[in-house]
Amino acid sequence: MTYKVLFLDIDGTILKPDHTYAQSTRDAILQVQKQGIEVFIATGRPIHEIRELAEELNIDSFIGYNGALALFNEETIVDEPMHEETVKKMVQLALQHNHEVIMYTNGKNYLTNPESSISKHFAEAFQMTKNHPYTYEVAGQILGMTIMNLEPEDSALYQFDPTIRLSQVNVEGVKHAYDIIRTSVNKGEAIKKLLERLNIEKEEAIAFGDGMNDKEMLQAAGASFAMGNAADELEQYAKHQTTSVNEDGIFNGLKKLGLVK
């Protein structure tokens, strides 16, 4: 099979819990790029916070904010902010139930309670630095959001719209945090638009992920891999399993396809 594009999640896929990546991961990326395979970072993180990592890995194409913004060599392919009224309702619910929210625009992060220990821990865990207090004036610019301090039984509060689901953040040390995922705006839908733009077939695409926000991404790629550390529920959506992020998972998966050595 000839492959033309590779999509890689960050946390738990590229990055280990200590925020480092294996040399084998960088080597694998360079090897597939030499074969003409385009490599994308595909993450829930905001793109403005991952530029340095991308530069280290020689990657300049992105899916960020769980699919709300996608760039191919800085050409914008997807740009889908959340509905302003949805954002305001989410924030109102969070304030009523003692939950906290971090939201992302194209350039900044906005928090409902930036000085709380929960918010500071989350920002530190994801190495986020462009943090500001949330104001309603930015509600129409929000590309993605994460609800924090949320017990599983409370997740139904935020699923007031059938086009919204919550995905638990699958990162060591981060508990009770859920990404807001839209059925029409997610990593998988972004991949479909990118494949169309690049004139690439689904069967020619590879994807690696570990969290439930990667579900649609794995379904959108012909060769999909769940990391060894993936959420148990994710495995059913992947065609292959590989080793964990701590055990060269990306390299081993690509080796299985005969693309690296």
* Distance, CA of 183 to CA of 187 (rounded, Å): 10
Ranges in the chain, pLDDT < 50: none
Helix (H, G, I), strand (E, B) or coil at 9: coil
pLDDT confidence of residue 152: 85
Question: Any alpha helices (H) in the chain, and if so which ranges?
Answer: 23-34, 51-56, 84-96, 117-125, 187-198, 215-220, 249-256
pLDDT tens track for 146-182: 999 988 889 999 999 999 999 988 777 677 899 999 9
DSSP classification of residue 112? S
Q: Are 13 and 237 in contact (CB under 8 A)?
A: no
Please state the separation of Cα 102 from the chain's center in Å. Answer: 15
Domain with CATH 3.30.1240.10 in the chain: 84-182
* Distance, CA of 148 to CA of 188 (rounded, Å): 24
pLDDT tens track for 130-154: 999 999 999 999 999 999 998 888 9
Q: What is the CATH number of domain 84-182?
A: 3.30.1240.10
**195: closest CA among 220, 225, 226?**
220
**225: closest CA among 204, 213, 210?**
210
Burial 70-89 (b: 16+ CB within 10 A, else e): bbbeeeebbebbbeeebbee
Q: Domain 5-80+185-256: which topology?
A: Rossmann fold (3.40.50)
Domain with CATH 3.40.50.1000 in the chain: 5-80+185-256
pLDDT confidence of residue 164: 95
* Distance, CA of 91 to CA of 193 (rounded, Å): 30
pLDDT confidence of residue 173: 66
